Amino acid sequence: MVKSFKTFLKHTAKDYHNQSVNPPVVRASTIIFKSMQDIRKMQNKAKKDPTGGHFDYGRQGTSTTHILSKILTKMEESYHVFTTPTGFGSVFLAIFSVVRPGDEIICADPVYHPTRLLTQDFLKEFNIKTIFYNPHNLKTLQRNITNKTKLIFVENPGSNSFEFQDLSKIISIAKKNKILTAIDNTWATPYFFKPIKFGFDMSIVSATKYYSGHSDVMGGSLAVNKKVFSKVKTAERITGLRLGPDDAYLITRGLRTLDVRLDRHQENAKKIAGFLSKYKNIKLLYPYKKDSFNFRMWKKYYSGASGLMGLKIKSKNINSVRKFVNSLKLFGYGYSWGGFESLALHQEFRETGNRNFMKLPKDEHLVRLHIGLEDPKDLIEDLKKSLKLIK
């Protein structure tokens, strides 16, 4: 981009035709034309430029969804970005596009639990095998590659346990063996890391999270390079996985302040991390401790950190950990994250998935925090009072 990322978000996609700062919501099932000749012209344009927003039916999208796709394509520095009704829809579209019966997937052990259920259980019924690797021992990835391996699926950092991986080694292994790669980049977004530019074939972001930023939209994005574009385009057309115009409008509006919000999330999270690091019974799952492997891997690839972190709390009394979470006044209790508000969850083991490489002792408990945009002094005071309940 010629303009900086921050300036681009503020000035892109202005609608001078309708004289509106944000493009309007265009809803349509039938795309109407003046003549059959005009329909054929549009269809020919679509064949020549399948990324160009040439529609003859509403399932293909409208100008509203196309504008969002163009914005995200520039943000990702990718060949194209597909938008889906949910973040997990983008996970499914990425995998469904490139694997077939008889193929194998090698997947990071700490992926999002629904991603694990899709790969480990659901795809097994279609004769697609998934093998999980240890994010901190890439030999477990290397030694499981066969001539059937079609995809390496990464989530970085790991869901709930926040392991950061050596991404350049993963890309090197994949390219050497001519295997496609996909990464769930929801934690960082392309504001802090651009996977396609780095060498991944596909990059997934749950637009439900930071893109929207207001906890009132569901959506997903799948950025691709030219190599896999036609496969994903075909799969998208067959499955009908496409974002609606109303959600596309809200996500576009949310993107205007993505940089401002993420900068503040990061600033607040660092202050919270500094406070929590003083507690001996808490291991912070966030790139904060400079002598750790996770910090080095984060620093090597990312320009910043978002507001999502984990706490590994040591306590023989699980009820006291639950009391700690339940007594928080400024943290809401609920799934998802990435909105303006702070959230807390006590993570039951079933919510992390049946992992092969993460063993949690009985006296250790996972709590996930999303640090919002509130005054960090207030959040610290809230945490300080509640932490006293842990026995």
Q: What is the pLDDT of residues 102-158, one digit of tens each?
A: 999 999 999 999 999 999 999 999 999 999 999 999 999 999 999 999 999 999 999
Give the rounded percent of residues in the chain with a pLDDT score beyond 70.
98
Q: Do residue 60 and residue 189 come from a single domain?
A: yes
**Could you read off the pLDDT of 71-97 as tens digits, one per residue?**
999 999 999 999 999 999 999 999 999
Q: What SS3 class is residue 140?
A: helix
pLDDT (0 to 100) of residue 289: 82
**In Å, how far are 84, 141, 276, 387, 391 from 321, measured between CA atoms?**
37, 35, 15, 9, 8
Q: CA-to-CA distance for 290 and 292, rounded, in angstroms?
A: 6
Q: CA-to-CA distance for 83 and 231, rounded, in angstroms?
A: 15
Identify the band that residue 347 occupies on the pLDDT scale cut at 50, 70 and 90: confident
Identify the band that residue 10 occupies on the pLDDT scale cut at 50, 70 and 90: confident
**What is the CATH number for 109?**
3.40.640.10
Q: Do residue 369 and residue 243 come from a single domain?
A: no
Report the chain's mean pLDDT, rounded to a whole number: 94
**What is the CATH number for 268?**
3.90.1150.10
Closest CA to 171 of 185, 154, 184: 154
Q: Do residue 273 and residue 185 come from a single domain?
A: no
Q: Do residue 240 and residue 316 come from a single domain?
A: no
Return the bridge partners of 129, or none.
104
Domain count along the chain? 2
Asked if residue 17 lies in contact with residue 23, where contact means CB atoms within 8 angstroms, the answer is no
Q: Do residue 296 and residue 235 come from a single domain?
A: no
Closest CA to 105 of 155, 156, 134, 141: 141
Give the domain-ending residue among 201, 234, 255.
Answer: 255
Give the domain-ending residue among 255, 285, 304.
Answer: 255
Give the rounded percent of residues in the chain with a pLDDT score beyond 90.
81
Average pLDDT over every residue of 370-382 = 98
pLDDT of 351 strictly over 70: no
> In which domain, by residue range, is 300 found?
258-387
- pTM for the predicted model, two decimal places: 0.94
Q: Do residue 269 and residue 244 come from a single domain?
A: no
Q: What SS3 class is residue 91?
A: helix
Q: CA-to-CA distance for 183 and 222, rounded, in angstroms?
A: 10
Identify the band that residue 20 occupies on the pLDDT scale cut at 50, 70 and 90: confident
Average pLDDT over every residue of 303-318 = 96
Identify the band that residue 349 occupies on the pLDDT scale cut at 50, 70 and 90: low
Residue 352 contacts by C-beta under 8 Å, 6 or more apart in sequence?
110, 113, 159, 160, 161, 358, 366
Q: Do residue 154 and residue 263 come from a single domain?
A: no
Identify the band that residue 355 occupies on the pLDDT scale cut at 50, 70 and 90: confident
Q: Do residue 243 and residue 295 come from a single domain?
A: no
Q: CA-to-CA distance for 110 and 85, rounded, in angstroms?
A: 24
Give the domain-ending residue among 232, 255, 278.
Answer: 255
Asked if residue 141 lies in contact with residue 173, where contact means CB atoms within 8 angstroms, the answer is yes
Q: CA-to-CA distance for 45 and 172, rounded, in angstroms?
A: 38
Q: Do residue 164 and residue 292 come from a single domain?
A: no
Q: Do residue 107 and residue 31 come from a single domain?
A: yes
Asked if residue 9 lies in contact with residue 68, where contact means CB atoms within 8 angstroms, the answer is no
pLDDT of 336 strictly over 70: yes
Average pLDDT over every residue of 286-306 = 94
Q: Do residue 240 and residue 269 come from a single domain?
A: no
pLDDT (0 to 100) of residue 353: 66
Count CB-CB contacts under 10 A for residue 217.
21
Return the bridge partners of 223, or none.
81, 203
pLDDT of 16 strictly over 80: no
Q: Do residue 241 and residue 283 come from a single domain?
A: no
Q: CA-to-CA distance for 381 and 202, rounded, in angstroms?
A: 41
pLDDT (0 to 100) of residue 360: 84
pLDDT (0 to 100) of residue 282: 96
**Could you read off the pLDDT of 157-205 as tens digits, one per residue?**
999 999 999 999 999 999 999 999 999 999 999 999 999 999 999 999 9
Average pLDDT over every residue of 226-244 = 96
